[in-house]
Structure 1
Amino acid sequence: MDTQSRELNIGWIPASGFQLRKAGVQFDAVRIEGEEGRRVAETLEAMTGGDPGPIVVESKGVRAVYFLVPAGSTSFRPWPRGVTTFNSGPGKVSYVPVPALSGETWPVAWWRPPIGEDRFVHPVLLKCVAEGVLV
């Protein structure tokens, strides 16, 4: 682990590069592809004074944006079209790319890194912003 992740004591962040983490354990995730995902991230950032919670972005392919939300918060919640949820349950396993806090992590990076072990994007706020952007 690097010093920043040790200071934060966040065991699910890799020391280098990036790793896939099973959704539904420490967090669930909501993925929105392309420019829409970036607009949602920008809107959340503005609404929260620059502290929307942890957000991961991809720089190739569909350029997806992953919003890390509390574990169990994406199931049984209707999400707008264009949103993919990552969680775990009976017969379902999902994985989310998680980059290290520093060093080479291409093709994924933190839009906003976590500031604490249990600090995530607020799922209701995320859903409301996504509904406004993805109309």
Structure 2
Amino acid sequence: MMYKADHKDSFPEKPGLAGLKVLADQNYLSDPAVFRNPADAKTTLAGELKALAPNNVSYVYFGALPDVPVAPAKMPLAFERPDLRLNGNLCVLFGDGHVESLTVPVEVDDCEELVSYLHTQKKYSEKELKALSERAHLLDGELGL
């Protein structure tokens, strides 16, 4: 939210690790430990911020979609990696700053499936769903999901 306040009410547009690195490079996130869920036993802690990689980040940064305005309360900004969720729950940070802990079906194990699940809850427009699904597909590729 500090980044948004400092950058004309917008979040970094780059998705995934590139977006997280923007936040790290500009000192909005300065400790490698914030990129790893303490309960996540599958990822390892990055020794330094420039070493961020899928194997040491527990979260997915979705990135802003400037060409498709999605209501901030419906826009997933960041979330726990679907393939690493604990006890069937997955926390999602939305563009307005609120976080929801969602109990998602076991088959939701990648970003595209999470967007499909969110659509059942948030009722995205066709344009929103298309943009969110395309971004999720890109992120799944980055994460190898």
Query: Which structure shows the higher strand fraction?
Result: 1
TM-score, L = length of structure 2:
0.27
Q: Which has the higher helix share?
A: 2
Taking structure 1 as the reference length, what is the TM-score of the superposition? 0.28
More contact order relative to length (CA 8 Å, sep ≥ 6): 1
